[in-house]
Amino acid sequence: MNSQYVVAKFGGTSVADFEAMSRCAHIVRDNPNVRVVVVSACAGVTNHLVTLTQQKEDEAGRKAVVAAVENIQQAIIDQVSLDADLAEGYKQTFSEFENLASLPALSRQQCDEMLSFGERFSSYLFTQILRNNQVQASRFDVRKVLKTDNQFGKANPNVAATREAAQTNLVALLGDTVQVTQGFIGSDQYGQTTTLGRGGSDYSAALLAEAIDASSVHIWTDVVGIFSTDPRLCVKARPIPRLSFDEAAEMATFGAKVLHPATILPASRKGISVFVGSSRDPQAGGTWIEKEKTAQAGIRAVTQRKNQILLTLKSPEMLLASGFLARIFTILSNYNISVDLVTTSEISVALTLDNAPNASRPELEQACLDELGEFCHVTVENNLTLVAMIGSEIQLKKCQLNLMDVLSEFNIRLICHGASKHNLCFLVEQQESDQVVQSIHAKLLEVA
Ligand code: ASP
Ligand code: MG
* DSSP state letters, 297-353: PEEEEEEEEEEEEEEEEE-GGGTT-S-HHHHHHHHHHHTTPPEEEEEE-SSEEEEEE
Classify 220 as helix, strand or coil.
Answer: strand
Mean pLDDT, range 368-379, rounded to an integer? 93
Question: DSSP alpha helices (H): ranges in 343-429?
Answer: 366-373, 403-407
Cβ 201 under 6 angstroms from ligand 1: yes
Cβ 12 under 6 angstroms from ligand 1: yes
List of domains in the chain: 2-221 (3.40.1160.10), 299-444 (3.30.2130.10)
* 285 — pLDDT class (breaks 50, 70, 90): very high
Q: How many residues does the chain have?
A: 448
The answer on whether 9 is annotated among ligand-binding residues is yes
The answer on whether 222 is annotated among ligand-binding residues is yes
Rounded CA-CA distance 142/148 in Å is 12
Among all bound ligands, the one having the nearest atom to the CA of 221 is 2
Cβ 153 under 6 angstroms from ligand 1: no
pLDDT value for 345: 85
Mean pLDDT, range 195-224, rounded to an integer? 97
Mean pLDDT, range 21-34, rounded to an integer? 98
Q: Which atom of ligand 1 is nearest to the CA of 203?
A: 8
pLDDT value for 315: 86
The answer on whether 317 is annotated among ligand-binding residues is no
The answer on whether 221 is annotated among ligand-binding residues is yes
Among all bound ligands, the one having the nearest atom to the CA of 359 is 1
What pLDDT, in 10s, does the model give residues 58-99? Answer: 999 999 999 999 999 999 999 999 999 999 999 999 999 999
Check: CB of residue 8 under 8 Å from CB of residue 126: no
Which pTM was predicted?
A: 0.87
Among all bound ligands, the one having the nearest atom to the CA of 196 is 1
pLDDT value for 136: 98
Mean pLDDT, range 306-316, rounded to an integer? 91
Helix axes 59-80, 18-29, angle to 10 degrees: 50
Judged by average pLDDT, the poorest of 153-162, 358-367, 436-445 is 358-367
What pLDDT, in 10s, does the model give residues 144-184? Answer: 999 999 999 999 999 999 999 999 999 999 998 999 999 99
Mean pLDDT, range 417-443, rounded to an integer? 91
Question: Is residue 374 over pLDDT 80?
Answer: yes
Mean pLDDT, range 356-382, rounded to an integer? 83
Question: Is residue 360 over pLDDT 60?
Answer: no
pLDDT cut 90: percent of the chain above it: 76
Sheet with strand 348-354: strands edge to edge: 339-344, 348-354, 298-314, 377-392, 423-429, 414-417
Mean pLDDT, range 268-295, rounded to an integer? 92
Cβ 154 under 6 angstroms from ligand 1: no
Residue 277 CA to ligand 2 center (angstroms) comes to: 12
Question: Is residue 359 over pLDDT 80?
Answer: no
Question: Is residue 358 over pLDDT 70?
Answer: no
Question: Is residue 419 over pLDDT 90?
Answer: no
pLDDT value for 242: 92
pLDDT value for 362: 61
Residue 51 CA to ligand 2 center (angstroms) comes to: 19
Residues with CB under 5 A from ligand 2 (ion): 11, 199
* 417 — pLDDT class (breaks 50, 70, 90): confident
With CA atoms as reference, report the closest residue to 408 among 444, 441, 442, 436.
436
Cβ 195 under 6 angstroms from ligand 1: no
Residue 384 CA to ligand 2 center (angstroms) comes to: 23
Pairing mode, if any, of strands 6-10 and 34-39?
parallel
Residue 363 CA to ligand 1 center (angstroms) comes to: 18
Q: Which residues pair with 276 in a beta bridge?
A: 219, 287
Q: Phi/psi at 378 (nearest 5 deg)?
A: -110, 130
Atom 8 in ligand 1: which residue has the minimum CA distance?
199
pLDDT cut 70: percent of the chain above it: 94
Among all bound ligands, the one having the nearest atom to the CA of 119 is 1
Check: CB of residue 393 under 8 Å from CB of residue 297: yes
Cβ 13 under 6 angstroms from ligand 1: no
* 125 — pLDDT class (breaks 50, 70, 90): very high
Angle at 446 (CA atoms; ends 441, 448), nearest 5 degrees: 160
pLDDT value for 33: 97
The answer on whether 10 is annotated among ligand-binding residues is yes
Cβ 198 under 6 angstroms from ligand 1: yes
pLDDT value for 361: 59
Judged by average pLDDT, the poorest of 134-143, 395-404, 409-418 is 395-404
Question: DSSP alpha helices (H): ranges in 102-141?
Answer: 108-132
The answer on whether 410 is annotated among ligand-binding residues is no
